[in-house]
C-alpha cells in the first residue's frame, strides 16, 4: 500500500467534515480524494476543501478503485449497513461511533472483515484522551490498592431538537455521547462481560423519543463497580472521574487530576477491639490515626514538592493531546505496516452489548 493513504469520506456532516475532515486536511500521510453526501452543499464544500471528487450516492464512491480507506461518517442508524457495503466492496473501513445498533450487526461486520481481509476500525478516539490515559496510568501503577469503585460523569444541561434525539436514528445520550465514556469504563472494568443495571429518563428538554439521561452501573466479581452518568439534565456541568481504592483515591477532570495514597507498610497493623474505645481519661473516642499521604498531580506543578516526589512513577501527559491525531497515528501504522489495531471491533462489541442490555432494562422508553 502507498505510504499516502487515499481516503473517501461518506457523510460530510459534523463528524465527517468537522472531525475527520479537519484532521485529514492537515495530516500529510492522508489525502482525501473523494467525498459523498446526499446534500449538495455539503459534498461540494467537502470536495472544495480537499480538492476531491464529490459523489451524491455513496455507492458511487464505493465503486472507486483508488481508495485505501473509507471513513463512514453517516447517520448513526446507517453505520452498520454502510460499513457492510464498504467491506463487501473491498475497502478498509473506519466507522464512526456508535458502531452498530445490535451485537448481531457487530458479529456480521467482524465476520465480513475476516473473510475479506480488510481492516475494520471504529473511531473511539477518546481512548487516547490524556486525562483517561493518566487515570489508567495511576490505577495500573497499583498505588491506590484494589480499585473498589470508579465513578464517571459526562453531564451537562442542554435542550436538543435534532435527529440524535430519535430512536429510529439510533439516537439518545447512551448511543450518542455514551460510546466515549462507556469505552473508557469497559477498559477500566477489565475483561469479561459485566452485569448491567441501567435507568434512563427522557425530559421535555428533548424533542425526540430517545433518552437524555442515563444512570448505568457495571459490576461483576473481581471487578471494580463502575458508576457512569451521561445526562443532559445536570445544571452544574461535570466531566469528572472519581476513583476509590483500598489505599487511596483519584479525582480527575478533562484538564487535571490529583491523587493521594499511603504506604501500608508505614502504618501499624490493625487490631480489632471489641470493647468501646476510650482515651486515657476513660472518655469515649472514635477511631483515629495520622496517615502520611503521598500525592500526585497532573499536569505536574513545579511548586508542588509532594507531586515531584511521586512524579518519577508517572509519564507526563499533555492535557491538550489531540485524540483524533493519536487515533489516526495508530490507524496509519495498521494500514501501512500491518500493526494490530489498538481498539478492536471485538472490544467495541462489549459496548454494544451493554447498550442493548440498557435498552432492554428500560421498556418505558425502548419498547421491543
**pLDDT tens digit string along 265-301?**
999 898 999 999 999 999 999 998 889 999 999 997 6
Do 67 and 146 belong to one domain?
Answer: no
- With respect to residue 333, please indicate whether it lies within any of the assigned structural domains: no
The count of domains in the chain is 2
Three-class SS state of 137: helix
| Conformational region of residue 347, where left means phi above 0, alpha means psi within -120 to 50, and beta covers everything else | alpha
Distance between CA atoms of residues 358 and 229, nearest Å: 13
Do 112 and 177 belong to one domain?
Answer: no
Task: Give tens-digit pLDDT for 47-87.
Answer: 999 999 999 999 999 999 999 999 999 999 999 999 999 99
- With respect to residue 331, please indicate whether it lies within any of the assigned structural domains: no
44-52 contacts, C-beta under 8 A, 24 or more apart: 45/12, 45/17, 46/9, 46/12, 46/16, 46/17, 46/21, 49/17, 49/21, 49/25, 50/21, 50/24, 50/25
Distance between CA atoms of residues 130 and 142, nearest Å: 19
| Strand pairing category for 257-261 and 294-298 | antiparallel
* Residue 306: pLDDT over 60: no
Do 85 and 149 belong to one domain?
Answer: no
Do 63 and 118 belong to one domain?
Answer: yes
Cβ-based burial of 251 (10 A; exposed 0-12, middle 13-18, buried ≥19): middle
Greater model confidence, 132 or 237? 132
pLDDT at 2: 58
- With respect to residue 364, please indicate whether it lies within any of the assigned structural domains: no
Range of the domain at 15: 5-123
Do 249 and 303 belong to one domain?
Answer: yes
Do 279 and 312 belong to one domain?
Answer: yes
Taking CA atoms, 218 is separated from 98, 151, 185, in Å, by 19, 11, 9
Three-class SS state of 157: strand
pLDDT at 368: 72
Task: Give tens-digit pLDDT for 100-128.
Answer: 999 999 999 999 999 999 999 999 999 99
Residue that terminates a domain, selected from 322, 343, 360: 322
Do 249 and 215 belong to one domain?
Answer: yes
Cell of 350: 462489549
Handedness of CA 131, 137, 139, 143 (dihedral sign): negative
Q: Are 194 and 220 in contact (CB under 8 A)?
A: yes
Residue that terminates a domain, selected from 322, 344, 361: 322
Do 277 and 238 belong to one domain?
Answer: yes
* Residue 165: pLDDT over 90: no
Distance between CA atoms of residues 32 and 212, nearest Å: 35
- With respect to residue 349, please indicate whether it lies within any of the assigned structural domains: no
pLDDT at 314: 47
- With respect to residue 95, please indicate whether it lies within any of the assigned structural domains: yes
Do 86 and 197 belong to one domain?
Answer: no
Do 74 and 133 belong to one domain?
Answer: no
Do 153 and 268 belong to one domain?
Answer: yes
**Phi, psi angle pair for 239, to nearest 5°:** -120, 90
Residue that terminates a domain, selected from 89, 123, 157: 123
Taking CA atoms, 2 is separated from 6, 69, 174, 246, in Å, by 8, 12, 38, 51
Question: H helices then E strands: how many in the chain?
Answer: 12, 14
pLDDT at 328: 98
First to last CA, the chain: 45
- Indicate which CATH number applies to the domain containing 153: 3.30.360.10
SS3 sequence of 173-197: HHHHCCHHHHHHHHHHHCCCCCEEE
pLDDT at 315: 54
Nearest C-alpha neighbor of 34 from the set 75, 1, 5: 5
- With respect to residue 207, please indicate whether it lies within any of the assigned structural domains: yes
pLDDT at 367: 86
- With respect to residue 366, please indicate whether it lies within any of the assigned structural domains: no
- Indicate which CATH number applies to the domain containing 90: 3.40.50.720
Position of cell 501501512? 336
Task: Give tens-digit pLDDT for 332-355.
Answer: 999 999 999 999 999 999 999 999
- With respect to residue 98, please indicate whether it lies within any of the assigned structural domains: yes
Q: Are 227 and 251 in contact (CB under 8 A)?
A: no
Do 203 and 141 belong to one domain?
Answer: yes
Q: Are 10 and 71 in contact (CB under 8 A)?
A: yes
Amino acid at each position: 500500500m502507498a505510504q499516502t493513504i487515499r481516503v473517501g469520506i461518506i457523510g460530510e456532516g459534523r463528524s465527517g467534515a468537522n472531525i475527520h475532515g479537519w484532521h485529514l486536511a492537515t495530516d500529510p500521510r492522508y489525502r482525501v480524494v473523494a467525498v459523498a453526501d446526499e446534500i449538495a452543499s455539503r459534498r461540494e464544500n467537502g470536495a472544495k476543501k480537499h480538492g476531491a471528487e464529490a459523489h451524491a450516492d455513496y455507492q458511487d464512491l464505493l465503486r472507486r478503485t483508488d481508495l485505501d480507506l473509507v471513513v463512514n461518517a453517516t447517520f448513526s442508524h446507517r453505520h452498520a449497513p454502510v460499513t457492510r457495503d464498504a467491506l463487501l466492496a473491498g475497502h478498509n473501513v473506519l466507522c464512526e461511533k456508535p458502531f452498530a445498533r445490535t451485537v448481531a450487526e457487530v458479529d456480521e461486520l467482524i465476520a465480513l472483515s475476516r473473510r475479506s481481509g480488510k481492516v475494520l476500525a471504529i473511531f473511539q478516539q477518546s481512548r487516547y484522551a490524556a486525562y483517561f490515559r493518566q487515570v489508567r496510568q495511576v490505577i495500573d501503577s497499583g498505588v491506590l490498592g484494589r480499585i473498589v469503585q470508579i465513578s464517571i460523569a459526562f453531564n451537562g444541561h442542554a435542550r436538543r431538537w435534532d435527529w440524535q434525539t430519535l430512536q429510529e436514528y439510533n439516537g439518545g445520550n447512551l448511543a450518542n455521547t455514551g460510546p466515549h465514556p462507556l469505552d473508557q469504563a469497559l477498559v477500566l472494568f477489565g475483561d469479561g462481560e459485566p452485569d448491567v443495571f441501567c435507568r434512563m429518563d427522557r425530559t421535555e428538554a428533548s424533542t425526540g423519543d430517545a433518552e437524555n439521561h442515563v444512570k448505568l452501573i457495571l459490576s461483576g466479581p473481581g471487578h471494580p463497580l463502575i458508576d457512569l452518568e451521561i445526562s443532559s439534565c445536570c445544571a452544574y456541568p461535570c466531566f469528572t472521574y472519581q476513583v476509590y481504592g483500598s489505599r487511596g483515591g483519584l479525582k480527575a477532570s478533562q484538564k487535571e487530576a490529583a491523587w493521594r495514597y499511603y504506604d501500608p507498610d508505614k502504618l501499624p497493623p490493625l487490631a480489632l477491639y471489641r470493647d468501646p474505645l476510650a482515651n486515657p481519661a476513660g472518655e469515649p473516642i472514635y477511631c483515629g490515626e495520622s496517615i502520611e499521604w503521598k500525592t500526585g498531580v497532573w499536569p505536574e506543578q513545579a511548586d508542588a514538592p509532594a507531586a515531584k516526589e511521586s512524579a518519577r512513577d508517572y509519564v507526563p501527559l499533555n492535557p491538550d493531546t489531540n485524540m483524533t491525531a493519536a487515533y489516526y497515528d495508530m490507524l496509519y501504522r495498521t494500514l501501512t505496516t500491518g500493526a494490530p489495531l489498538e481498539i478492536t471491533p471485538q472490544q467495541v462489541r462489549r459496548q454494544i452489548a451493554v447498550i442493548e442490555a440498557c435498552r432492554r432494562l428500560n421498556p418505558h422508553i425502548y419498547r421491543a
